[in-house]
Amino acid sequence: MPQDSLLISDLHLSPARPGTVELFLRFLRERARHAGALYILGDLFDAWIGDDNSLPPAPEVIETLRQVSDAGCRLSVMHGNRDFLLGEDFARATGARLLPDPCVVELGVGEPGGQPTLLMHGDLLCSDDLEYQQARRRLRSPEFIRDFLSRSIEERIQLAAEYRRRSGEVVSLKSADIMDVNQRTVEQYMREHRVRRLIHGHTHRPALHEFQLDGEPAQRYVLADWHEQSGSCLRIHDGLTLQETCG
């Protein structure tokens, strides 16, 4: 019998949102552990300051993710713009595989309608936001990461808070269109990876976009964030793709 593939993103787990943390833990224990696969497409945490972080809610989240993978669910995690420092220690502790962004996976293999699907966090698709793309490259450079991780936990917490504050100020000054995806960039990635289905998060604008790509029907699913639609997940089962809510 085909098993569900569940896809979620943009939970932004943090001590400041204990309700979201508890909902996610319940989602893992009651829903995800019975699925065939769980894909987390970035920003699981509101900030990840390194795999040596043992501050709440990290330990309980890691432990519960491990229980899910031990139960037989294939757990895959992609970096987001808030938690791109998730590393191999996190992967080993949870039993997850870290996905490159972008990557193609077979969703619904052996099911009617199963097809190669391009998974992305989504921020690379926001190509009109040149300032963001420049900052993204800088923050993910080996030099920045090496310097950041060399600092104490306390320093990293303060720096992460400052980055979030600055990011919030910048976002408030930008138009909504600049921060959304560029359709030409969407089509470029889909052509490059030879797919007709793309699933991503990041924009916090959940929707299904259907369009023509080189004369063939194509789909772009945008996952919901858990601030506006708590417990939202995309379920792929038996050839059907359904938006669901737990909790």
Q: For the segment 139-185, what is each residue's pLDDT rounded down to a tens digit? A: 999 999 999 999 999 999 999 999 888 887 666 667 777 789 999 99
pLDDT of residue 166: 85
pLDDT of residue 227: 87
**Mean pLDDT of the 187-206 span:** 97
Q: In the structure encoding, which two tokens stand for residue 106, read together?
A: 């077979």
Q: How far apart are CA 207 and CA 186, in angstroms?
A: 15
Residue 130: CATH number of its domain: 3.60.21.10
In eight-state DSSP terms, residue 223 is: P
pLDDT over 60 at 59, yes or no: yes
pLDDT of residue 230: 82
Cis amide linkage into residue 102, ω under 30° from 0: yes
Question: 33 by DSSP, 3-state: which?
Answer: helix
Rounded to 5 degrees, what are φ and ψ at 150?
Answer: -80, -10
pLDDT of residue 179: 84
The mean of the pLDDT values for the chain is 92
Question: Would the pTM count as exceeding 0.85?
Answer: yes
pLDDT of residue 11: 97
Dmax (CA) for the chain in angstroms is 54
Task: Grade residue 109 by pLDDT with cuts at 50, 70 and 90.
Answer: low
pLDDT in tens, 73-96: 999 999 999 999 999 999 999 999
Looking at per-residue pLDDT, the higher value among 111 and 126 belongs to: 126
Give the range of the structural domain holding residue 172, as residue numbers without chain letter. 5-245
Looking at per-residue pLDDT, the higher value among 23 and 246 belongs to: 23
HSE-CB for 105 with a 13 A CA cutoff: 26
Q: In this structure, how many other beta carbons lie within 10 angstroms of the beta carbon of residue 122?
A: 31
Asked whether the beta carbons of 201 and 7 are under 8 A apart, the reply is no
* Spatial CA neighbour of 89 closest among 130, 59, 116: 59
pLDDT of residue 172: 65
Cis amide linkage into residue 57, ω under 30° from 0: yes
Task: Grade residue 111 by pLDDT with cuts at 50, 70 and 90.
Answer: very low
Rounded to 5 degrees, what are φ and ψ at 4?
Answer: -65, 145
Q: In the structure encoding, which two tokens stand for residue 214, read together?
A: 């080189």
Q: How many domains does the chain have?
A: 1
